[in-house]
Structure 1
Amino acid sequence: MSNKPWLSQYPEEIPASIPYAPIPVQSYLAEAAAKYPEKTAIHFLGKEMKYKEVHEAALKLANYLKSLGIKKGDRVAIMLPNTPQSVISYYGILFAGGIVVQTNPLYMERELEYQMNDAGAKVIITMDILYPRVMKVKESTSLEHIVVTAIKDYLPFPRNVVYPFMQKRQYGIVVDVKHSGNNHLLKTILAETEASPIQLEFDFEEDLALLQYTGGTTGFPKGVMLTHKNLVSNASMCDAWLYKCRKGEEVILGILPFFHVYGMTAVMILAIMQGYKMVLLPKFDAETTLKTIQKQKPTLFPGAPTIYIGLLNHPKLKNYDLSSIESCISGSAPLPVEVQENFEKATNGKLVEGYGLTESSPVTHANFLWDKKRVKGSIGVPWPDTDSAILSMEDGKPLPPGEVGEIAVKGPQVMKGYWNRPEETEQILKDGWLLTGDLGYMDEDGYFYVVDRKKDMIIAGGFNIYPREIEEVLYEHESVQEAVVAGVPDAYRGETVKAYIVKKDGAALTEEELNAFARKHLAAYKVPRIYEFREELPKTAVGKILRRALVEEEKKKIKEA
């Protein structure tokens, strides 16, 4: 579809095409453990694990999962923040031949129940404080076993002793799960199971490694089927893009959650593939992150705009030494030019914007970090082995440079399809081309620009939020007659969630009441931040609510303010 004008922009160090070893994702952990057995693989809040320790733990878990009846192709869910356990679980599932189902720890019962049933997951690995939530849905899902772990299990002394008291103060509970029946403690599993090698045949191109759930404008989240080839190729492309990085030497900061595909590929898989040290943080806190950077001296820092903004706005920023940071690729949301420039001044490193989506494992485009021009406001150029084109919204044919249409991508990182949704797969995959739903254009040099989204998806703080799912919840409230949700501009989160509500006649519904209702059924980041009650909502002649008209109204208010 294109003549790939961007290849002429490539520095000589980046190849146009990369050979991919046809081995599954987990094989890279085995290779790293053999090559760097004593090297630190993970640093977590003061505790460190060597590559050989991570590998052994993953094999132990894999053998235990097999003893529970997990066979090749079975789905196993991970509901964990960024911890050593999340890495061990991911690779342990793959060693056992299972398919990982990444689950956001913020999910409430209805979201969790839907995902477990859709994926058909047999086992879930989760935190002790999340155990009660899982138990509430277990009987109404396909889940047979729950593997439980705790933050304190991987904390150094004396923090591991103090942590349960801090947990009780913060969450009001301490969950005590016994290793018996269908409940299993990861700590006990790793203490009592052999790290025996497991021999399984894998089809590099066809076998699934991951079901990564993503939403849509037409219904509930869909499971994106990502193969071993999808993930290995995208991490390999990332390595090629970071051509100045040294195998076995870099230190990568792991704040991006591994339950999102960007953090999983660009941090975890890349780090293990290249023998890097991962410095993990279970959640983003600006001061903790600044202290960690100063002490652990990471060289790579993949992130999202809100993370960089949070650090830049910290009142004590100048008190910390951030000079170790050399390379950052920002994803998940558009990167403001001002943020890019200020962060580069604060670190003396390079920060560039990238682009991708869950369906492409996720990265397809990025700006160059070194030696070549970086175009402000552009998402950069396609990665090696990746083709991209701008298609007409009218007839689907390729458009010339400068004309706006739908961005389409093609490459080895593009998903196999949606789990159990052949019709929706056909709508988005055309002859190997992935239709992104984003509108943009390409300039004469092959740099791409996003101008709008065809979809109504909201990106707030790096999280993908789908209005339809929130609207479904709001409509369940007995006092709501009509509801529409839209993303409105927000200086910090990029966008924030606003709900427009028409109350039923005579209803005395308040913002506080509706907000409390939403919080019972939605993860915190999906809950509307703003509510506006109206007598009526703008609609088309056939009664469809005009969401876009409301968004334009908000933009006009900001412009006139």
Structure 2
Amino acid sequence: MMRPWLDHYEEGVPRDCVPTNDTLPDLLRRSAEAFPERTALSFIGAATSYRELWQDVQRFAAGLQKIGVQPGERVSLMLPNSPQFVVAFFGTLLAGATVVNTSPLYVPTELEHQLQDSGSETLILLDAFYPRYQQIAARVPVQRVIVTGIQDALPFPKNVLYPLKARREGSWVNVKAGGSVYSFRGLLKGQAPAPQAVTLRPDDVALLQYTGGTTGVPKGAMLTHRNLVANAEQCRAWMTDLKPGQEVTLAAIPFFHVYGMTVGMNLSMLTGATLVLVPNARDIKMVLGQIQASGATLFPGVPTLYNAINNHPDTPNFDLTTIRACISGSAPLPLETARRFRQITGGANLVEGYGLTESSPVTHVNPIFGDQREGSIGLPIPGVDALVAGEDGNPLPSGEIGELWVSGPNIMRGYWERPDETAKVLREAHGQTWLLTGDMAVMDDDGYFRIVDRKKDLIIAGGHNIYPREVEEVLYAHPAVLEAAAVGLPDPYRGETVHAVVALKPGMTATEAEIIAHCRANLSPYKAPRSVEFRAELPKSAALKVLRRQLAEEARAALKPA
């Protein structure tokens, strides 16, 4: 097949990326051997070297084995970005088990579904989340719970002061070890440094990563060691100026989200970077402070995070000029957000990328230093094939809109115990296995791809196809708009009509008429919103992705009484 994007790779990017046979623990072990005294983890004043981290991972794996965790078992992690997450993640894999990433934002019913669906027999969680687990404990297969607290990772005297502060605020949860409940710290410190040897194979399932559930019940994507290692290696190949053992990664995007895990944690472990752990990405002042204090050079993020930094009143008080490269994923990057962030940081290379849970996740990125095309998700990264397919599954020529298909070593094995759902998205064609993304895209003559929108988010008004992203780009260009989403509402005449939901910048004002007039001046009449809803903020996922589907459901529900 034709691959026009290869001619537009910047100098130093390989034309292909053949994955190694390494497993995920191998990435950490190799960096511990190469950079033993380099700081691997920086967490609110506490520093852990690569040598110490590898030792902790081995001890934790031995601890899991001691309490009965067997190879192939599922171990759920319900933790924020913290040293405990990194230790538990690699320790679980070293013991031969499979990690199940679990959002700390889950309510009891969501947690119950995931624990039941994955068959997790072990749950590792923060003490503050324990009451949620207690509500559903009798209905899930969990046999052992390992509990930790933020204070376990803090240096003295913060480890003493934190519980006192939590008690004053009424947020302290005291969980006593005993029976099937274990202390993370006790499990870690009470073990010999080496676990029993377990044979790990690259094609073993390393992770069950649950999709967001916007198209139905969440499904667990089975990602193997090879999938996840390959994607970290592909991202490494794309970043031509990355210096092993010298980079500092600001890890604000949660690791329980596959994007934060791959581009934040795994890429850092592969390259011996210092990982600066931010437990709460919504605390923008903490994010700013950590960038300045650490001299962060790499800052993977999402558009809402960059947008929040652009508009935070304290941003001018911090030095963000050490940032060299930022890959924005998880959601479309508004052009205005990218331009403003580059100004604030003195030219940081903020480029849009693209990926899916099922692809580990990265498949496309704009060149970091080469030809960055605004509004584009960039080029397929080394080792990834991509095409725009018509309804018959055949490739469409450049310039035509169809469904984006991707193929490569980073594509999942399938959905956990969902062969019917797997068959809907994995297809053998043109001599390869393809993942059908469900995203409508177009490729130009040079091999740059642009996402038009989700198939399921398409708004059809009066027979016209309207893609929400195009409307949102115009909304974001309004000087008073901080966040925006466009959704379709039922209309008796047009079938659907465009409804805008916006949050305004602090201190700014705008009326519905002004927003609509702005859109009509920059869009074809049929694309402009017919109504505008103002909110203090837009709902977001744990990875700070605006929940457009939720907004659509709420807007439609509000129409029913009328």
TM class by shorter chain equals 0.7 to 0.9
Within the alignment, does 1:534 sit opposite 2:559 as a pair? Answer: yes
| Other structure's SS at 2:229 match | helix
Question: Which residue matches 2:197?
Answer: 199
Within-5 A mapping of 1:274-285: 274-284=271-281, 285=283
Unaligned runs of 5+ in 1: 468-485, 494-517, 538-561
1:343 to 334, 341, 355: 341
Q: In 1, Cα distance between the equivalents of 2:277 and 2:143?
A: 30
1:227 counterpart = 2:227: no
- The structural deviation recorded for 1:243 is 1.1
Q: TM-score, normalised by structure 1?
A: 0.82
Moved more, 32-41 or 413-422: 32-41
* Alignment match, 2:206: 209
- Within 5 A, what are the aligned runs for 1:421-460? 421-431=418-428, 432-456=433-457
User: What corresponds to 1:307 in structure 2?
Assistant: 305
Instruction: In structure 2, give the amino acid aligned to 1:435.
Output: L
Give the superposition deviation at 1:184: 0.4
Deviation at 1:525, TM superposition (A): 8.4
Distance in 1, matches of 2:504 and 2:195, equals: 48
For 1:487 and 1:231, locate their aligned partners in 2 and report how far apart those are by CA, in whole Å: 39
**Structure 1 68/46 Cα, relative in aligned 2: closer, same or farther at 3 Å?**
same
- What TM-score does the superposition give when structure 2 sets the normalisation length? 0.82
Which residue is equivalent to 1:477? none
Give the Cα separation in 2 of the matches to 1:39 and 1:156: 18
Tell me if structure 2 keeps the 8 A contact 1:95–1:198: no
Q: Percent of aligned pairs with the same residue?
A: 44
| Alpha-carbon shift at residue 158 of structure 1 (Å) | 2.1
Question: Aligned AA for 1:157?
Answer: F
Residue in structure 2 matched with residue 551 of structure 1 by the alignment: none
Contact 2:304–2:545 (CA under 8 A) maintained in structure 1: no
Asked if the contact 1:76/1:99 (under 8 Å) is kept, the reply is yes
Q: Following superposition of structure 1 onto structure 2, how do residues 438-517 of structure 1 map, counting pairs within 5 Å?
A: 438-456=439-457, 489-490=501-502
Task: List per-residue Cα deviations over 1:1-32 (Å, max 9, x = no partner).
Answer: x3010000012300011232202111111111
1:318 and 2:343 matched: no
Aligned position for 2:18: 19
8 Å contact kept, 1:306–1:492: no
SS at match of 1:65: helix
Change (3 A) 1:492 1:60: farther
- Pairwise CA distance, 1:436: 0.2
- One-letter identity of the residue aligned with 2:410: Q
Alignment counterpart, residue 408 of structure 1, candidates 387, 394, 405:
405
How far apart are the structure 2 equivalents of 1:435 and 1:19? Answer: 22
SS in 2 for 1:176: coil
Helix, strand or coil for the counterpart of 2:139? coil
Q: CA deviation at 1:216?
A: 4.3
Provide the rounded CA distance (Å) in 1 between the counterparts of 2:297 and 2:152.
Answer: 27
1:367 aligns with 2:366: yes
What whole-Å deviation, never above 9, does each CA across 1:360-397 have from its counterpart, x for those lacking one? 00000010011x211000000100010000001x3121
Question: 1:291 aligned to 2:289?
Answer: yes
Aligned equivalent of 1:377, options 375, 400, 404: 375
| Amino acid in the other structure paired with 2:59 | K
**Separation (CA, whole Å) in 1 of partners of 2:121 and 2:271:** 32
Q: Distance in 1 between matches of 2:4 and 2:392?
A: 23
**Counterpart contact for 2:42–2:277, Cα < 8 Å:** yes
Shift of 1:533: 3.0
Q: Is the Cα–Cα contact under 8 Å of residues 331 and 545 in structure 2 kept in the other structure?
A: no
CA contact (8 A) 1:234 1:265 kept: yes
For residues 47-70 of structure 1, what are the alpha-carbon distances to aligned partners after superposition, in whole Å with 9 as ceiling and x for unaligned?
A: 111111111111111111112221
Match of 1:256 in 2: 253
- Which residue of 2 is the match for residue 104 of structure 1? 103
Report deviation, 1:157: 2.1
Alignment partner, residue 177 of structure 1: 175
Counterpart CA distance in 2 for 1:315 and 1:215 is 32
The answer (yes or no) to whether the contact 1:251–1:278 under 8 Å persists in 2 is yes
Residues 223, 412 of structure 2: 8 Å contact kept: yes
Unaligned runs of 5+ in 2: 459-467, 473-484, 488-497, 506-538
Counterpart secondary structure, 1:368 = coil
CA distance 1:218–1:148, change in 2 (3 Å): same
- The residue matched to 2:68 in structure 1 has which SS? coil
* Amino acid corresponding to residue 265 of structure 1 in structure 2: T
SS of the residue aligned with 1:188? helix
Match of 1:167 in 2: 166
User: Following the alignment from structure 2 to structure 1, what is the Cα–Cα distance between the partners of residues 109 and 274?
Assistant: 37
Give 1:213 shift: 0.2
Structure 2 distance, partners of 1:487, 1:49, is: 49
Q: CA deviation at 1:71?
A: 1.5
Aligned partner of 1:78 in structure 2 is: 77
Q: Is the 8 A contact 1:99 1:209 kept in 2?
A: yes
The amino acid of 1:438's aligned partner reads D
The two structures, once aligned, show a CA RMSD in angstroms of 2.6
Quickly say closer, same or farther: Cα 1:437–1:488, change in 2 above 3 A. Answer: farther
**C-alpha displacement of 1:294:** 1.2
Deviations 1:147-177 (A, max 9, x none): 000001111222222211322344x242222
> How far apart are 1:536 and its partner, in Å?
6.4
What is the CA distance between 1:487 and its match in structure 2? 9.4
Contact 2:74–2:121, Cα closer than 8 Å, also in 1: yes
Say whether the 8 Å CA contact 1:179–1:188 is kept in structure 2: no
Matched AA of 2:87: I
**Residues in 2 aligned to 1:328 and 1:407: alpha-carbon distance in whole angstroms:** 24
Distance 1:492 1:330 in 2: 22
Count of residues in Structure 1 that have an aligned counterpart in Structure 2: 483
In structure 1, the residue corresponding to 2:219 is in which secondary structure? strand
CA contact (8 A) 1:81 1:283 kept: yes
Query: Contact (CA 8 Å) 1:352, 1:367: kept in 2 or not?
Result: yes
* CA-to-aligned-CA distance 1:239-298 (integer Å, 9 cap, x gap): 011110100100000001000000000010010111000001101211111111111110
Q: What's the counterpart of residue 38 of structure 2?
A: 39
Contact in 1 for aligned 2:299/2:326 (Cα 8 Å): yes
Paired with 1:492 and 1:59, the residues of 2 have a C-alpha distance of 49
**Aligned pairs for 1:140-151 within 5 A:** 140-151=139-150
CA distance in 1 between partners of 2:502 and 2:76 (Å): 33
The alpha carbon displacement at 1:356 in A equals 0.5
Residues 316 and 219 of structure 1, relative CA distance in 2, 3 Å threshold:
closer
> Contact between 2:20 and 2:230, CA under 8 Å: does it hold in 1?
no
- Mapped to 2, the partners of 1:131 and 1:418 lie a distance apart of 28
